[in-house]
Amino acid sequence: MQFTAEQIATLLKGTVEGNPAVLVDTLSKIEESNSSSLTFLANPKYEHFIYEIEAGIIVINEDLVLQKPVKSTLIRVKNAYSAFTELLKLYSELRNERKGIDECVHIHESAQIGESPYIGAFAYIGKNVKLGDRVKIYPQVYIGDNVQIGDGSILFPGAKVYEDCVIGKSVIIHSGAVIGSDGFGFAPKEDGTYDKIPQIGNVIIEDLVEVGANTVVDRATMGSTVIRNGVKLDNLIQIAHNVEIGQNTVIAAQTGVSGSTKIGEHVILGGQVGVVGHISIAKGTQVQAQSGINRSIVEENKKWGGSPAFPYNNELRSQVLYSKLPELERRLAQLEKQLKDKNNP
């Protein structure tokens, strides 16, 4: 699909400098652009590229002062990064535009399917499922009984949603993700074995949430595991039973959150963070990658790091001390030797 600079400028509410009729048919990074591609410049350290390349169109900030002539057509906008993000969203929507129901799908007769759906081959839709309008269910997705999925949500190939779970509007669940599997609940017995504790709750995922590939959100033992509006979960994350995650919290890959922990809104957890169960993490907390949270964090908007985690500035000072330990050990050994020699002439 091709677009002119004039069409793109109209969409972005920008101003064209150059040929308004120039055509582009792809988006690219600025260093990989060519005459048929659309790219952008937001970071000043990449500015030299716009004088070297011959991209079809470059989206730039309206206040950028050019140091040299450029060969490409420019579109000036208030914020080039935000504008290009909007273009990426549009491009993604066009690329993923699918409608209809493929052959070889199982849809229970009691299921309710909204308008303009897409249901791919070998998908399974269970009893009493309710799908909103414009929901996309890609091939080999499993939707268990009594599941509800809101308007505009997308489940990519191989995603699984177990029975009774609730998915909000405009939610994206990537391939291999599992929503509503049993929580890790076992009761120890006197003979050293374990009884499985039935997990009869569900998972509630609110609107505008994204769940990465191969991430698992366990159902509650009783009640609900809750993921609030706008939460973004990266790939390969474990969210245990009865966890609650506040709105617009972001969690990076390979993080594990243990059962019944409550995470506030606008929290950022870096990759490979471990969080123990039955604690709370305050609003606005930021946690460095590979940290271990072993107790509740009650102060809002603080940074933490290390394992076990400390306030971030303390952790940085600790790292400095760690690096000095070999030298301190050497000096201590010398002092001990001198003291021993002095006491034993």
Catalytic residue among 108, 241, 266, 278: 241
Decide: 19 and 5 in contact? Cβ < 8 Å: yes
> CB within 8 A of 325, min separation 6: which ones?
none
Give the position of tokens 């933490």.
304
How far apart are alpha carbons 22 and 33 in whole angstroms?
A: 15
**Structural tokens at position 121:** 């081959």
* Residue 108 among the catalytic residues: no
Structure tokens at 240: 């245990």
73-77/57-61 β-pairing: parallel
Helix (H) or strand (E) holding 327: helix 312-343
Q: Which two tokens stand for residue 276?
A: 């123990």
> Exposure of 176 by Cβ count < 10 A (0-12 exposed, 13-18 middle, 19+ buried)?
middle
Catalytic residue list: 241
